[in-house]
Structure 1
Amino acid sequence: MREIVVCGEALVDVVQQGGSGHEAARGSLAPLQPALGGGPFNVAITLGRLGSAVSLLSAVSTDTYGDAIVDALRAAGVGTALVQRRDEPTSLALATIADDGSARYSFYVEGTADRAVTDPGALPPTVAAVTFGTLSLVLQPGATVYENLMRRCRAEGRVVVLDPNIRPAVIDDPDDYRRRFRGWMSSVDLIKLSDEDAAWLGEGPAGSTAADWLDDGVAAVVTTAGASGITVRSAAGEVTAPAPSVDVVDTIGAGDSVLGGLVHHLDRHGRLSPDAVRSLTAEQWREAAEFAAHVAAVTVSRPGADPPWAGELRSD
């Protein structure tokens, strides 16, 4: 059986819906609603709900929020054997939702559990793919642990997937991060990122682009652009999958759903090996992107990062 390991943080999104000008004038604030989240957590939940064999590798607090995180993982069919429980508190992300459904974040991550992850040792031989990204590749000392694991997994012949999910608010030295990102490319098979991520990574003296990453050895770069759909660039060429038309409630977890949908599609079609990923045709990439877009469309049509279960989707 092929297994997928998702590496990175699980946290709590404290969601604040945009308030009216009248509320601001009165000095009042819109209500806050806690919700479980974090990019890697959302990816793992998506994969579990879609039916892939998946585990989360993370450090999770023993506080009440941490217990809720573990319970939610298990309820979605996500394995927790690689979850390290720690006494430090759970990270918090304050997410403000605008009227168009877009989200803006600020983070409370000092001294929290997830950034204190330790090396898990050898992963089981059944693990075919490992995903990385978001805050976990920024916040030390955990970032170095995950970076070393990324390189080790690629050397062991596993598919390595990266979603940088850039959060500028927590990146103290943008050019240093951009240099580190470029250095990961020889260990990465598939990159998924937003058009905003791509623009940010291309800035400054250390900036690079999808063309650079493909030259460095990445098999495919998948770029999301909201309602404009998903573009895949690979050696087979460039293809685009449209985004289904839906009423957007909020966009939290949209990109994570795309990544989960992509990896699940590759899993279900027996393509979770470096050679298989590199041999995909343009049409096969289009099919994967179309499925991922459908997964994300369901997620954005309801509040919170609430990806679909397999039974809610057309066959992949």
Structure 2
Amino acid sequence: MTILVCGEALVDLVPDRQGGGPALTPKLGGGPFNVAVALGRLGADVQFLSRISRDPFGRDLVAWLEASRVGLDLLQRGPELTTLALTVLDAHGAAEYSFYADGTADRLVEAPATIPESVTAASFGTLSLLYEPGASVYAALLARVHDAGILTMLDPNIRPAAMTDGDGYRTRFRTWLPSIDILKVSVEDAGWLGEGPQGTTVQHWLDAGVTAVVVTRGGDGLSVVTTAGETVVPGVSVQVADTIGAGDTVHGAILHHLTEHGVRSSADLRRLDSQAWTAALTFAAKAAAITVSRPGADPPWADEVGDD
């Protein structure tokens, strides 16, 4: 039961608040990278499909994946530079980003010839679905694994500063919906992607073929909407260092929990009741609370979260 995580790895340049000046501290990240790390630390059998630079940042990224027990059998390496994300934190620790991504390694990923037979779930998201030519590679892979019966989960993780063609992205996003089993969005993502009230937008996604829509609400918790209705769990109260990696931890924790509890397909997902979703979301909320309690994207290990 392997979970395949597909997408970019990058370096966040985060302001050093304690220094009180313009100093920037490099933090390893990227949405899919963080999801893979979260899964590995929680004990999942996870493989990371991406292209990572051979530069010093790339070497650090690979070392972090290995230390977090992430499999690298499908990882590609290249001489191109690592993508950089300049991060700005507001007074509440919320992050905004701008990106330096022209010609970087993760944009040049190639699709694997075969997918390991052990893969039962696949994760996609963030910049990997925005920047070409890699975006088309990942979009085609999403459709390919879904057609093969593999459970899929996608987090668009919208970064408005990177969206030079918002309408074009929304159009492409709609073409992915029939291949997505679980769509994870923040409230802000849903607003950016939708054309009406959030409830109307979510219903449109379900009508288009998505099985479950998970919505993150920051400190207010999580919800999931399926054709059977909505399930909501509260957030876990902690002292917030910053919110970097919180949504990625939710993504990884949900996938891990569902896989550990026998969910292998869209059909399995459709059979989940509110009690099962409450357990999955509660586990994810606990894991995310630990991530936001410490600086940067630093997801918890299994023994920090407890039983799932």
Q: Contact conserved, 1:17 with 1:98, CA < 8 A, in 2?
A: no
Give the Cα separation in 2 of the matches to 1:239 and 1:154.
25
1:17/1:195 Cα in 2 relative to 1: closer, same or farther (>3 Å)?
farther
Q: Contact conserved, 1:18 with 1:96, CA < 8 A, in 2?
A: no
Which of 279, 300, 303 is matched with 2:292 structurally? 300
Aligned-residue CA RMSD (Å):
1.4
Give the Cα separation in 2 of the matches to 1:139 and 1:123.
23
Give the Cα separation in 1 of the matches to 2:185 and 2:17.
26
Q: Does 1:187 align with 2:169?
A: no
Give the Cα separation in 1 of the matches to 2:16 and 2:174.
36
Q: Does 1:9 align with 2:8?
A: yes
| Mapping for residues 108-123 of structure 1, pairs under 5 Å | 108-123=100-115
- Residue type of the partner of 1:141? P
Give the Cα separation in 1 of the matches to 2:51 and 2:100.
16
The answer for the alignment partner of 1:246 in structure 2 is 238
The answer for the alignment partner of 2:60 in structure 1 is 68
Cα deviation digits, residues 49-96 of structure 1 (max 9, x gap): 000000110000011111111111111110011110011000000111
Give the Cα separation in 2 of the matches to 1:112 and 1:55.
21
Give the Cα separation in 1 of the matches to 2:91 and 2:209.
40
Q: CA deviation at 1:197?
A: 0.3
Give the Cα separation in 2 of the matches to 1:116 and 1:249.
34
How many residues in Structure 1 have an aligned counterpart in Structure 2?
305
Q: CA deviation at 1:98?
A: 2.1
Could you list the structure 1 runs, at least 4 aligned residues long, displaced by more than 3 angstroms after superposition. 17-20
- Residue type of the partner of 2:61? I
Q: Contact conserved, 1:91 with 1:113, CA < 8 A, in 2?
A: yes
Q: Does 1:141 align with 2:133?
A: yes
Q: CA deviation at 1:99?
A: 2.4
Q: SS of 2:281's equivalent? A: helix
Cα deviation digits, residues 229-279 of structure 1 (max 9, x gap): 101001221010100111111000000000011001001111122211111
Give the Cα separation in 2 of the matches to 1:18 and 1:310.
29
Q: SS of 1:79's equivalent? A: coil
| Mapping for residues 8-157 of structure 1, pairs under 5 Å | 8-17=7-16, 29-157=21-149
Q: Contact conserved, 1:19 with 1:30, CA < 8 A, in 2?
A: no
- Residue type of the partner of 1:43? V
When normalised by structure 2's length, the TM-score is 0.96
Q: SS of 1:209's equivalent? A: helix
When normalised by structure 1's length, the TM-score is 0.94
Gaps of 5+ in 1: 24-28
